[in-house]
C-alpha cells in the first residue's frame, strides 16, 4: 500500500472545512502533548498553556499548513507531513495508538492528533509571527488573484529547470504535491521533464487550467486516500478512484491506450503517459495509431 503521499492542498482544505463546520466555537478545556517531538515552537509547556482555556474561533489553510485560530489571537499551525490525522471524537472512534496531541473540549468532545509516522509538527504563532512564517510561500492557486497563467510564465517561464520540480516548489505555487502535479501535467499533455522555457503560451494556459481543475476535483472528492489520510470524522477521501496516471504504472492511458510509465523526476516517483506527454514537446499528444 502506498503510504508516502503527503497531504496536499485538497486534503488539508477538507480537514480545514471540517474544523470550521464541526469545531469552531468550541472551548479547549485541556491540551495534552503526548509526543514532545510534535512541538517545534514554543516550548511544549507554553504550547499547552496557550491553548488551554482558549476558544477555537476559526480555521484556515496556507499551502499544506492547517491553521487553527484561537480567540487569544494566537494561531496553531500544523504540518501533517505524511501521516497526520485529526479525529473528532465522537463521532469518530477514539484512537488508542500513535497519539501526539489530545484537545479536550468543554462540550465533552475531543480532538485527537494521531500520526503513526511521527512526522507531524506544530507551532503556535502570534499574528506577526504567522505573517513572517508564511512570507516566502507562493500564491494560493484557488483563491489568489495573483495566480494566473501569466504569473506562471513570468515566474518560471524563462528557466531551464524541469517543470515538475518547479510546480512542487512552494515558493512558486502553494499546496501542490506529487499526486496532483502528475495528474495536472497529464491533463496538460506536458512531460514532467520539459524545461519551463520550452513551454508555449498555450501550454502555460493548459497547465494553469489543469492546476485549478485537479485541485478542485480533489476537494470535491474530499481528498486522496491510499493509506493514512483521513478527514476529521475518520473517513477516507475518494479522489484515488479518479486518478488517471498516479500509481497506475502498466495500466492503459485513459486518453490513448498506451501503457502508463513510472519514472523518476527530480528525485520523485513520477507517473505519465509516454505518448500523450512527449519529452521533446512534439504535438502528437497521444493521437498515435495503436497497433
For 8-37, the DSSP string reads: -HHHHHHHHHHHHHHTTT-BEEEEEES-GG
* Cβ(185)–Cβ(146) below 8 Å: no
DSSP conformation class of 198:
G
d(CA 194, CA 281): 7
Furthest-apart CA pair in the chain: how many Å?
68
Grid cell listed for 251: 495500466
Which residues are marked as active site? 7-8, 64, 268
d(CA 187, CA 121): 33
Nearest residue to 122 (alpha-carbon basis) of 215, 16, 44: 44
* Cβ(61)–Cβ(16) below 8 Å: yes
Give the pairing of strands 65-70 and 56-62.
antiparallel
Instruction: Give the long-range contacts of residues 129-132, CB within 8 A, separation 24 or more.
Output: 130/67, 130/75, 130/77
Our CA angle for 49, 58, 220, nearest 5°, is: 130
d(CA 39, CA 15): 20
Amino acid at each position: 500500500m502506498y503510504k508516502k503521499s503527503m497531504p496536499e492542498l485538497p486534503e488539508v482544505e477538507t480537514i480545514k472545512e471540517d474544523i470550521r463546520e464541526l469545531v469552531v466555537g468550541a472551548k479547549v478545556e485541556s491540551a495534552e502533548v503526548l509526543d514532545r517531538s510534535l512541538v517545534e515552537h514554543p516550548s511544549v509547556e507554553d504550547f499547552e498553556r496557550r491553548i488551554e482555556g482558549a476558544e477555537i474561533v476559526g480555521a484556515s489553510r496556507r499551502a499544506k499548513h492547517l491553521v487553527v485560530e484561537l480567540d487569544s489571537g494566537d494561531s496553531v499551525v500544523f504540518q501533517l507531513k505524511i501521516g497526520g490525522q485529526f479525529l473528532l471524537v465522537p463521532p469518530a472512534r477514539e484512537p488508542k495508538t500513535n497519539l501526539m496531541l489530545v484537545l479536550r473540549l468543554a462540550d465533552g468532545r475531543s480532538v485527537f492528533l494521531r500520526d503513526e509516522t511521527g512526522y507531524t509538527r506544530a507551532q503556535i504563532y502570534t499574528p506577526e509571527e504567522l505573517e513572517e512564517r508564511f512570507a516566502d510561500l507562493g500564491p494560493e492557486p484557488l483563491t489568489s488573484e495573483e495566480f494566473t497563467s501569466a504569473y506562471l510564465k513570468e515566474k518560471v517561464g524563462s528557466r531551464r529547470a524541469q517543470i515538475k520540480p518547479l510546480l512542487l516548489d512552494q515558493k512558486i505555487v502553494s499546496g501542490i504535491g506529487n499526486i496532483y502535479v502528475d495528474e495536472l501535467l497529464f491533463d496538460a499533455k506536458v512531460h514532467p521533464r520539459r524545461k519551463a522555457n520550452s513551454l508555449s503560451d498555450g501550454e502555460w494556459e493548459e497547465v494553469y487550467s489543469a492546476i485549478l481543475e485537479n485541485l478542485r476535483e480533489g476537494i470535491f472528492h474530499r481528498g486522496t486516500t491510499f493509506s493514512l489520510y483521513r478527514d476529521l470524522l475518520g473517513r477516507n477521501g475518494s479522489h484515488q478512484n479518479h486518478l488517471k496516471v498516479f500509481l497506475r504504472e502498466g495500466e492503459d492511458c485513459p486518453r490513448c491506450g498506451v501503457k502508463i510509465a513510472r519514472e523518476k523526476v527530480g528525485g520523485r516517483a513520477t507517473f505519465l503517459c509516454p505518448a500523450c506527454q512527449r519529452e521533446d514537446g512534439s504535438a502528437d499528444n497521444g493521437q498515435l495509431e495503436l497497433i
